[in-house]
Chains A and B, each alone.
Chain A
Amino acid sequence: MAKKELEILLKATKISKSFGDFVANQNIDITIAKGQIHALLGENGAGKSTLVKIFYGVLQPDSGLIEINNQKVSITSPNVARKNGIGMVFQHFSLFPALTVAENILIALDNKIKFNKVVNEITKLSKEWELFVDPLKLVSELSVGEKQRVEIIRCLMQNPSLLIMDEPTSVLTPQEIKNLFKILKRLASSGCSILYISHKLEEIIELADEVTILKSGKSIASINAKKTTTNFLAETMVGKKITELKKTIKSKSKKIAFEVKNLDKLKDHEFGISLTNINLQVNYGEILGVAGIAGNGQVELMEILSGEINCEDNDQILLDKTPIGKTNINERRKLGIETIPEERTLHATVPNLTLNENTFLTYFFKYSNTKSWITNLLNNPQNSSEESTKIIKNNDVRCPETNPLASQLSGGNLQKFILGRSLANNPKVAIFSQPTWGVDIGAATAIRQKLLDLSQNGKAVILISQDLEEIFELSDKVCVINEGVLSEIFDVTDITATDVGLLMGGKNKKMEPIK
């Protein structure tokens, strides 16, 4: 690596930023060299996004110094950032779906250029960097990967010297990720520095030259990424040893617990996904992983599996071979089916209600009594206080006070509460969507262990997740959802991550199950 002394592009010293009492960044130092791929690693809430928003002028630091090419700059807006050669691709794209690629790029340009020139420029850039997109296509017709390419081209139009990418791979298939990395490496070798934000360790080791680790708003280490291991990174990031999951070999039953047959559901709003001919089955003692990129019908599938929306036909969902398609969510809870939706706040819980009231939310029907109308009328959250205390205790939910509001809990603790609330009902079928999404590693490990325990105790589990690693770590069987279509179900030993990636990208839909 000792080629030549690297020139410094951006140097930030003692950057601090707080929101109210919350300190998001505290005296952060970071130095990015020219042509370097610099990764910013940290758990959710470690302050990565705040820091890059400061570099891109979206936020102003409370104190600290930023130097670009040894010149002190104050980046007061994204405009100023772009003039200083900084471009950024956000996690959530900011494109207008009803406009074409070229129109979207034209709008974002600071200086006015003729439309035809923009089209030519895009064609040139996309050839040069293998960022293939048709400039005249509508953005709404593009895949997620293509949209990301549009965002990158938009940045390249400004000839940036630093490209910031905020968790770019969270929405991509493995193949698309490979492609992206190729492009980023080429960009870097041409002299453009890249600040790459991620919490995925393997990616960082593969891609980055140097990695800065953030923890609770502080920069705790800058390491040469080529000379480190994922384990070391993980432990530095979390600050403690990570416990490994305990997997025992289980005796597989062949008894089908839960089945979905020929289920169709038209989308109910413009940006929804229609489900087409969904078939799945899961046995007792088994975890079925449903992989897929977000927004491919997981939310819609979950609504139907949970019973928030009823099936048209009672026979479309079977529990122990009994049709239950027309039962509602509480009837299914009584039958032993517990579900957890993807959205933790505002769907699984109500943020401005206490944990006790949130327990009551999915427990209230237990306290109704057909004989006494007065009990039914005065059925209120006090009834569930005992249950709620038990859930908090048994699941190590850390609360700032007794019976806090749901909004007072951190993401991980709230998820532990939600999971505990479901498991306290002792379900025989558990259907969980993105249970560890945005949760810190400690809580995620605890949650994954609970899922494993469930299946080892003979329950049936369906795990809908975007996290391929998680799917392969936990599942016995795997299938993939893409644009509302569910693939065949494969044994996890019979399929590779690459195959799943292809299915996630919508390729090889008719691939034969490997037997």
Chain B
Amino acid sequence: MITFIPRDKVSKNWIIIAPILSIVFTIFFGLLIFTFLGYNPLETLYQIFVSPFSRIDRISDILVKACPLIIIGTGLMLCFKSNVWNIGAEGQFIMGALLAGFIALSFPNIETKFFLLITILAGFVGGALWAFIPAILKTKLNVNEILVSLMLVYVAMLFIDFIVRGPLRDPMSFGFPLSKPYPEGALINKIPFPGIGFLGQLHYGILFVFLLVPISWIFVNKTLGGFKINVLGSAPQAAKFAGFKQNSITITVLLLSGGLAGVAGVIEVSANIGQLQPEVSFGYGFTAIIVAFLGRLSPVGILFAGIIIATVKLGADNAQMTMGIPKVVTGLFEGILLFFLLTGETLQKYKIKWSEGKK
């Protein structure tokens, strides 16, 4: 039998040593596996860990990939901190993108970039409305939000599929399920750097992340709202004793996280795709759950976790493209990395005791 005993105090050194050890272990097991499978181990590790940083445009691509993960992860942090289990960010992402897309396509000739404020707001509303369904069912009828939010992901997927094949299909798309391209006013441009030009796909949407991280940090640590979320998540009875209203906190965090997922959807589509298509998300809403927990439900942690996960995903893509390593193998490697990162974190907080097995 294994028992976990909480440590009285987390050593400061271990906060730094643990992640480094996790990476060392990951590299060790990665080397073993790649050697075993007949790939050049050093080359593979280079592709996964180093190549994403090898050129400045690749570094900016990490940021682009991390952008939706961090935005969604921040919203999910609010939910998870208050013990509300929103698993449906993927669906809220899609519905945000869809509502914003609908508004964008309704004004085909608009050019002013101020219009982006409206589409982003629409994205927030779309995602928040989708999250409002589990919120109201949970608070009024005590329906489990995990099930409802997850099921609504599939409803959203089928709904956007129907929309781009039906009402919003571009007549000029030669039968492809695509909407018309967005008007200029609804597109997020790449950032031009004087003398260099564009850096990969780096776009203005990234500014939203740099705004969101400090704001969410202040919200969590320095406001009454953040305190309420913290208390409700740690001790619902104590929240009652303090006079906090549990239901309104639950609804608020679901609306905020749904809204942020929706905004992530708008930024992703407006910056990287430019029109609606059946697949807009590629699993960002689910990956962001890992990002939120890997970042220990803290805004700064989520920033770093988003970058780590984005790096490994891009590195895995590179390894696939240059060395022909199948996706399952790189997926396995991602799994090993997460395993060791989470183990390291657990061992920081708990001691493990082995006792003789009984029964």
Residue numbers of A with Cβ under 8 A of B are: 19-21, 60, 76-77, 306-308, 328-330, 341, 343, 345-353, 357, 360-362, 364-365, 368, 376-381
Contact = CB atoms under 8 A, between A and B. Distances in A.
B234 interface: yes
A307 to B, nearest CB: 8
A23 to B, nearest CB: 14
B227 A352 contact: no
Nearest to A331: B243
Contacts of B224: 364, 368, 376-377, 379-380
Contacts of B118: none
Given A352-B234, A379-B224, A21 B8 contact: yes
B236 to A, nearest CB: 8
Interface string B46-71: 00000000000000000000000000
A361 B222 contact: no
Interface in B342-359: 351, 355, 358-359
Nearest to B7: A20
17 contacts: A20-B8, A308-B240, A328-B243, A346-B235, A347-B237, A347-B241, A348-B241, A349-B238, A350-B238, A353-B230, A357-B227, A362-B241, A364-B227, A377-B225, A380-B224, A380-B226, A380-B227
Given A20-B5, A364-B227, A381-B227, A347 B243 contact: no
Contact of A330 (B218, B243, B351, B359): B243
Contacts, number: 76
Given A20-B351, A330-B243, A350 B223 contact: no
A376 B222 CA distance: 11
Given A20-B5, A377-B224, A380-B227, A361 B234 contact: no
A154 B5 CA distance: 34
A380 B241 contact: no
B231 interface: yes
Contacts of A307: 243
Interface string B184-196: 0000000000000
Contacts of B5: 19-20
Given A350-B235, A360-B227, A361-B231, A341 B222 contact: no
A347 B235 contact: yes
B237 A378 contact: no
A469 B54 CA distance: 76
B295 to A, nearest CB: 18
A348 B238 contact: yes
A309 to B, nearest CB: 9
Question: 7 closest Cβ contacts across the A-B interface?
Answer: A347-B237, A330-B243, A346-B235, A379-B224, A329-B243, A350-B235, A361-B242
Contact of B231 (A21, A306, A353, A365): A353
